[in-house]
Amino acid sequence: MAVSPAARLAVVVLSLGLRHAAEVARAAPPDAPYSDPVAVCEVTDPRIREASGLAASRRHPGLLYVHNDSGNPPHVYVLDRGGRVRATIELDGARNVDWEDIALAPSEHPERFDVCVADIGDNQARRREIVIYRFAEPELPAAAAAPASQPDGAAAPPSGPAPQGTKGRSAASLPRSAPGELALRIRPSAYRFRYEDGAHDAEGFAVHPRTGDGYVFIKQPDGRGRVYRIAAPWDDQQTTTLKSVAALRFPETLPVAKVVTAADISPDGRRLAMRSYACGWEWELPD
């Protein structure tokens, strides 16, 4: 699902890290330590015309990964907090059938993370399998990774060998799309999955930052969705069958408020947030 059908996207950053522009109603206690949502920037780049997923970089604080919905090129854009595109990452060999969400997963290397793009949308519930593309957070030159408040500089490609990811192949620099913007081509690892009980439409995806387990949240019109777990380590050599591990249960409210359209787990692994068409929900997770 796109956050906005227009070319403009108001990016709202919540302290929990809910990755979509939305007014959020929380199920947390009234004394939850969160401030009101803060509008950080407005994205006007015409290439980001149907944003469907947003995640904060762990390697480059202050930068965000965003991608478009179905039918668009297989590109992930790196934004700064001023709303400017600092880098474009082309996922070599990937297809954007229906990209719905994006998350970061713990890497094989300590203190590093991989970017996971979830191609899980299936409006007609006809797909035989879904795909998650995974690649290591790329190295960015200082000019591309600098905060928006710093003066812009010419972003030269990284010196030395191309950065190697724990997931996906090496990144190659391409000609820049705009002054100061870096273009990368990365061959991601493609993980293929099928559900044990047939095809489903899904828009929410999250990865636990400690265990590396992934979770796909099924989108049901009546709000009775289910959760499917991708146990770590993931296997990119065969199609893995996913089993349901939980049923979603919400407080009594309108069905539209219980249709999951996005999900995220906080960096400390203690809270799960999900967005619906009408509001957002939050749960505390066990240690």
Mean pLDDT computed over 153-182: 47
Is residue 157 one of the residues assigned to a domain?
Answer: no
Residues composing the chain? 287
* Summary mean pLDDT of the chain: 82
CA Rg, the chain, in Å? 18
**Looking at residue 168, what is its pLDDT?**
59
Domain contains 174 = no
Whether residue 195 lies inside any domain: the answer is yes
The answer for residues whose C-beta is within 8 angstroms of residue 146's C-beta and 6 or more apart is 80, 152, 153
CATH of the domain at 129: 2.120.10
Residue 277 has pLDDT above 60, yes or no: yes
- Among the ranges given (89-93, 169-173, 208-212, 262-266), the one the predictor scored with the smallest mean pLDDT: 169-173
Phi-psi domain of 212 (left: phi exceeds 0; alpha: psi -120 through 50; beta: other): left
Of 15-24, 61-70, 189-198, the range with the lowest mean pLDDT is: 15-24
Q: How far apart are CA 106 and CA 83, in angstroms?
A: 26
In a domain, 29, yes or no: yes
Task: Return the number of other C-beta atoms located less than 10 Å from residue 170's C-beta.
Answer: 14
The partner residues of 136 in beta bridges, in order of sequence, read 114
Q: What is this structure's pTM?
A: 0.81
Tokens 């636990």 locate to: 208
Q: Does the pLDDT value for residue 21 go beyond 70?
A: no
* Contact criterion met (CB below 8 Å) for 200 and 248: no
Q: Does residue 176 belong to any structural domain of this protein?
A: no
Tell me which residue of 126, 273, 107, 156 sits closest to 206, measured CA to CA: 273
Is residue 1 one of the residues assigned to a domain?
no
Q: How far apart are the first and last CA of the chain?
A: 31
241-271 pLDDT, tens digit per residue, is 999 999 988 888 888 899 999 999 999 999 9
Domain count, the chain: 1
Q: Report CA-CA distances (Å) from 241 to 95, 117, 134, 145.
A: 21, 19, 18, 38
Q: Does residue 47 come out as left (phi exceeding 0), alpha (psi in the -120 to 50 range) or beta?
A: alpha
Q: Is the pLDDT of residue 189 over 60?
A: yes
Give 2's pLDDT tier (boundaries 50, 70, 90).
very low
Could you tell me the residue range of the domain that residue 257 belongs to? 9-143+189-284
Q: Per the domain annotation, does 171 fall within a domain?
A: no
Residue 2 lies in a domain: no
Once rounded to an integer, what is the mean pLDDT over residues 103-116? 95
- 154 pLDDT higher than 60: no
